[in-house]
Structure 1
């Protein structure tokens, strides 16, 4: 049991590298993503961003968590919202309970302070997914979700939303309607142009504002073995 706990702690530390290794090239790339988001729109400030991918395994949850920390480190009051009601991971990353969260907020009237988890990072709060419901898509298409996120926008300067992959379920399309911008995540090993184009088409049908693409797991040359990958941001999809 102790070994399992230590392994979970090591895994969490690896995921939030922008905090554990703030001076690494990986962390600098997360700050670059933050900067690119800030300058992605001049007339309409981006205050909520949905992170999604075409297929599973691209690393969207890890990137969303690190970008959220990067915003908090910049002094922005930030919320990380786990919108993945099927395979949530944020509560594992930040080692908090998932007994109540987004799913319970949609179904029941719960005070915001009873949903928010304070993290170890100043200016960063977390709302987990909550218990996995039998009907995620129905919950995410409800008016209560829109009202809930609109309420959150009055409380935070930046909201980072983690969502399921686009080609698996409709959840990300539904969530994208409440976000100011959407960032697609892909990784080098499984990068597939057709999948990305299909994901882009689905977002366009939902009238989502696609602001960028992040290429994950690109190898760094001539760096220490600890910095074996990094995240490269682009505004081209």
Structure 2
């Protein structure tokens, strides 16, 4: 499979001084402050449903971490509708599914990007059994191996209400960010997505409210708030 020719803009890289880029840096800072007592190195990002901006959010958050001189790997664990190979203009011939289905080296599927300090593991070929692959012992081993090489691991998953994949990955992550499209998703749907994550005892670090009704010059606005114990 040839690399995609329609790489997507990444605002934190293309326009780091924009208000939106600053919002992503604020999100990064808030996550860091939420980890006073526990180290957070593996973060999963999901949404209630499709089209809420979870992949855009995790990509820009990964860049924000990389810009702070941390070594970051971004994993596309959406094994049903992957997007990271498009975003970074990479081939998706090999990726996460290859590493999970064989005893190959993790290093074989790690790809460098044009952004300093940021590596990507694309999804690889779409498998017939995504949930089982993500729940495998090999997935846990892979994450432990990556912790030896990277400061931060960020994982993109399918929407939490669509399939069980997000719940599976959440149970293997230090924390979860839930992306909600404020103009599209009703409160009860958002609460159901949160309940699904609570069921597997996921540590929800906070919620990103996307597409807030701001002035027309701002296409996105992100707001983070942490859990209140």
Deviation of 1:188 (Å): 2.0
Deviation string, structure 1 residues 37-96 (Cα, Å, up to 9, x no partner): 111121111111100011111100000000000000000000100010000000100000
Deviation at 1:112, TM superposition (A): 2.3
Q: Aligned partners of 1:121 and 1:140: how far apart in 2? A: 27
1:187-219, Cα deviation, whole Å (9 max, x unpaired): 122121111111111111111111100001124
The reply to whether residue 61 of structure 1 matches residue 55 of structure 2 is yes
TM-score, normalization: structure 2? 0.94
Q: Is the 8 A contact 1:82 1:162 kept in 2?
A: yes
Once the two structures are TM-superposed, the CA of residue 178 in structure 1 deviates from its matched residue by: 1.2
CA distance in 2, matches of 1:229, 1:81: 23
Tell me which residue corresponds to 1:71.
Answer: 65
Gaps of 5+ in 2: none
- Looking at structure 2, the residues matched to 203 and 51 of structure 1 have their Cα atoms a distance apart, in angstroms, of 11
Q: Which 10-residue stretch deviates more, 177-186 or 212-221?
A: 212-221
Alignment of 1:209-228 (within 5 A): 209-221=203-215, 225=217, 227-228=218-219
Partner of 1:156: 150
The answer as to whether partners of 1:176 and 1:206 remain within 8 angstroms in 2 is yes
Corresponding residue of 2:116 = 122
Residue 188 of structure 2, aligned match among 187, 190, 194: 194
**What CA distance in whole angstroms lies between the structure 1 residues aligned with 2:221 and 2:48?**
19
Q: How many pairs does the alignment contain?
A: 225
Task: For 2:97 and 2:197, locate their aligned partners in 1 and report how far apart those are by CA, in whole Å.
Answer: 23
CA RMSD between the two structures = 1.5
1:236 CA displacement: 4.8
Please state whether the residue corresponding to 1:230 is helix, strand or coil. coil
**Structure 1 gap ranges (5+):** none
1:87 is aligned to 81
2:47–2:180 contact (8 Å) kept in structure 1? yes
CA distance in 2, matches of 1:228, 1:209: 29
Q: For 1:55 and 1:191, how far apart are their aligned partners in 2?
A: 8
TM-score for both structures, normalised by structure 1: 0.91
SS in 1 for 2:153: strand
